[in-house]
Structure 1
Amino acid sequence: MAIQSLQTFLFIVLQVVGRVTCLKEVSDRQCDCYLTNDTSKNYFTTHNFFDFRALAQYAKVPSPIADPYDSTNADETSNYFLNDNWTKVWGIQQWNNSDTVDSGDVPVLLVNSPNNIYIEKNEDENASSDTFLTMRTLRYKDYQSTAEFESISKAYHFLSVRMYARTIGAPGAITAMFTYRNDGGSTQLTTVQESDLEIRTMDPKDKVQYTNQPSYNAAGYDIPKATRNATTPIQADWTQWSVHRMDWSPTDTTWYIDGRQVASIAFQVPRDPSQVIFNAWSDGGEWSGNMSVGKDAYLQIQWIEIVYNSTGNAKTTDKRNEDTAWSLSNAKRDEEGCQNVCSIDDTPTTGTPVLLQGGASRISDHILGLGVAYIWIPLLLATFLI
């Protein structure tokens, strides 16, 4: 009897695993919307994937530029950053913080340079890619040379963004992935809407800072509810290659490392359409720390993936028209506009979506994803055998 029951159990298990593993890889043209997994199960209309793992033809580490004027006016480091696939979505920044230095708010001149964003050959032992994108920040005597690129669109309105990345280098730098909106460019804190993932290289390597900005008020006092200093999973400190994920929804911002939730903040969630920004920087201030002259730090990224909704305005990267750029809440209800539901989480090939079985009307069939199945099947089997 026990053997027969075990056979029945295993048959059911194989049916479930078979249903999950037969998910079909498809192109984005075949997807009406995307459903994310884990605690932040949300629907999104559009998918973008930027792969820096096999770009040997562009790989070259540019020599640093000591002069701040020459640095800010440097050319892009390769034709990759002149290609439409890049320039239609991202803009490399060349601004500086001279105004805040002149006012005494921060001690060190920060200068963003295209020279600090480049494709680099992966020299790791047992490297997991041929190349990766590097964002570099270096300290000179008179200034900090930094790197930033931001989305051309300011119309991202809820998203799930991931990067497979690591941070290495000297104390005194910040590497970050975040959403940002500042109405009218005002200096008033109340105009800022921002969700941050920040790594401070002066912090312990197992600590990452997550914040829904602003994190302090007009009087200069910290707002504890706005920020979390989280511990990374074991074997996933920020010097190691890991998938860093941020899910921004109407109710909260939630962050993951290698699929494990590490922080979630429901306070002060950004409300309005925003940009997506990546950077590596320092200004010598209290938050970043003051990097020693001659030192450097790096954010290195193998790939970036985003599923998102947008407002559908003229600058959006959403390839659909305004009528199909619907809100997250509408996406859940509108089965006619979301017949083909895809996933970027349950795919065997990073960057390629899979079509979830049954479309929007049978999405519950897929709640037990492949990653979950590997966990609960052994647990159930152990329980049965006991």
Structure 2
Amino acid sequence: MGPIRRILCLPTSLSSLVFFLVSATAPGIAAAGKDPALTDDSQCGCYLNKGNSSTYFTYHRFFDFRSLPQYAGVPAVIQDAESSPDADPTSDYFKRDEWSSFWLLGSWNNSNGARPDATVTMVNSPNNVYIEANTEPDPSSQTYLTLRTQRLSDFQTAAEIESASSGFKYLSLRMRARTVGAAGAITAVFTYRGSDMLADVQESDLEIRTADKRNLVHYTNQPAYTDDGDVVPEATRKATMPHGLDWTAWAIHRLDWTPGLTTWYVDDVEVARIAFQAPRDESNIILNAWSDGGRWTGNMTRFDAAYLQVQWLELLYNSTDPDETKRSRRRQQQDGDGCNAVCSIDETPELGTPVLLWKNGPSQVNGAGGRSVSTGSVPTWGVVVMVLFAMELLI
């Protein structure tokens, strides 16, 4: 009988001892019996996401739109297609460095014929991105971010925000959001790497078609069609939202882009995963609400509108940007290991604030919550010796 089968046949007491010896020396179990300690991003060497595609990420950002009454206000729709792209930001919130250093407000139009079946001129305007007061009964937030698209007499006014960086390479993006409004629009969040050649586009989409059933969401690794218009079925999934939800209800939508795979969740329930055509290279992040009268969006009735509304947006990510790379190297020089302290945003009791899962090395770290976390660990060879010793004694 080989050593593996011998372990499987150990008495219950010995199996428990072996498991204890291994697990007790794992860094993540060092603080057994204690809740992870609240900390801040400056204390985190990396972040481990929870889910079916767990991965380590280097950076964390949290954008909270839930309590911004000083910026709230719904701007009147600009009726002129020529002046709409040049509109000023709708409030000073979008001039803050926290926002402007990370996000750009879209102002482009579809006059380049990027979608040949479009029947309506579409114009993105900063005027369609704004902070709105939450007036629903028993609201779960004071305010939220709104992206608006509306069909006007002569054109479709639309909204888009895009990351200032195109250097994202793997991420876990979460947002508490909903889509409301008339049929004939798309609301979406996706990674994007463009190309003049359709086959070279890299894109992972979460898209809601307001003409669809309200529990249906589309998940795709683009391109989902060829230059000849043929559908690529391996690239896309249609999924229904879990727990009887529909996309007009607030829910946490999540996209995990990891090496060779994209995985989507709604309220922590996996709803789709696609390995085919998973993005490989650095990309942007985009959120939008739009329509162009084409086959995909449908044709919105004049003066109808649809909205993507977001209470908060949180990101774990890796980056190839030079500034981010320099910051990561400085952190490694300070810590001796860029992933010396492993944090989580999934295990935290406080949204947007990470907790410390473990810290490698013999020292201890106190989180913002004031709780001490033991961080000692036994080398792998030590674990092996202890396990083998136990087996020799008891077999």
Distance 1:40 1:98 in 2: 39
> How do 1:1-386 and structure 2 match up within 5 A?
19=32, 22-100=35-113, 105-183=117-195, 186=196, 188-313=197-322, 318=324, 320-321=326-327, 323=329, 336-359=337-360
CA shift at 1:321, angstroms? 2.8
CA offset digits 1:60-79 (Å, max 9, x no partner)? 00011111112111110000
Is the CA contact 2:168–2:317 (under 8 Å) kept in the aligned structure 1? yes
Which residues of structure 1 form unaligned runs of 5+? Answer: 1-11, 327-333, 366-386
Is the CA contact 1:312–1:321 (under 8 Å) kept in the aligned structure 2? no
Which stretch of structure 1 is more off in the superposition, 92-101 or 114-123?
Answer: 92-101
- Structure 1 segments, 4+ long, off by >3 Å, are 18-21, 322-326, 357-361
Query: Per the alignment, do residues 290 and 269 of structure 1 end up closer, same or farther by CA in structure 2, a change over 3 Å counting?
Result: same
CA offset digits 1:63-99 (Å, max 9, x no partner)? 1111111211111000000111100000001000012
Query: Per the alignment, do residues 204 and 179 of structure 1 end up closer, same or farther by CA in structure 2, a change over 3 Å counting?
Result: same
Equivalent AA in structure 2 for residue 346 of structure 1 = E
Secondary structure at 2:112's aligned position in 1? helix
Secondary structure at 2:230's aligned position in 1? coil
Distance 1:24 1:324 in 2: 24
Distance 2:33 2:270 in 1: 23
Distance 2:116 2:312 in 1: 38
Distance 1:171 1:303 in 2: 25
CA shift at 1:323, angstroms? 3.6
Which residues of structure 2 form unaligned runs of 5+? Answer: 1-19, 21-28, 363-373, 375-395
Is the CA contact 1:35–1:41 (under 8 Å) kept in the aligned structure 2? yes
CA offset digits 1:222-267 (Å, max 9, x no partner)? 0000000011102321100000000001120000000000000000
Is the CA contact 1:135–1:147 (under 8 Å) kept in the aligned structure 2? yes
Distance 1:337 1:207 in 2: 41
Equivalent AA in structure 1 for residue 268 of structure 2 = G
Distance 1:357 1:325 in 2: 17
Distance 2:281 2:347 in 1: 29
Distance 1:24 1:235 in 2: 35
CA shift at 1:191, angstroms? 2.1
CA shift at 1:141, angstroms? 1.9
Q: Which residue of 1 aligns with 2:25?
A: none
Is the CA contact 1:97–1:109 (under 8 Å) kept in the aligned structure 2? yes
Equivalent AA in structure 1 for residue 190 of structure 2 = F
Is the CA contact 1:174–1:201 (under 8 Å) kept in the aligned structure 2? yes
Q: Quote the sequence identity (%).
A: 52
Give 1 or 2 for the bigger CA radius of gyration. Answer: 2
Is the CA contact 1:310–1:325 (under 8 Å) kept in the aligned structure 2? no
Secondary structure at 1:269's aligned position in 2? coil
Is the CA contact 1:309–1:325 (under 8 Å) kept in the aligned structure 2? no
Equivalent AA in structure 2 for residue 48 of structure 1 = R
Distance 1:176 1:104 in 2: 20
Distance 2:320 2:182 in 1: 40
Equivalent AA in structure 2 for residue 273 of structure 1 = E
Secondary structure at 2:98's aligned position in 1? helix
Is the CA contact 2:220–2:237 (under 8 Å) kept in the aligned structure 1? yes
Distance 2:47 2:221 in 1: 25
The Cα RMSD (Å) is 2.4
Query: Per the alignment, do residues 117 and 197 of structure 1 end up closer, same or farther by CA in structure 2, a change over 3 Å counting?
Result: same
How many equivalent residue pairs?
334
Is the CA contact 1:106–1:285 (under 8 Å) kept in the aligned structure 2? yes
Distance 1:347 1:54 in 2: 20
TM-score scaled by structure 2? 0.80
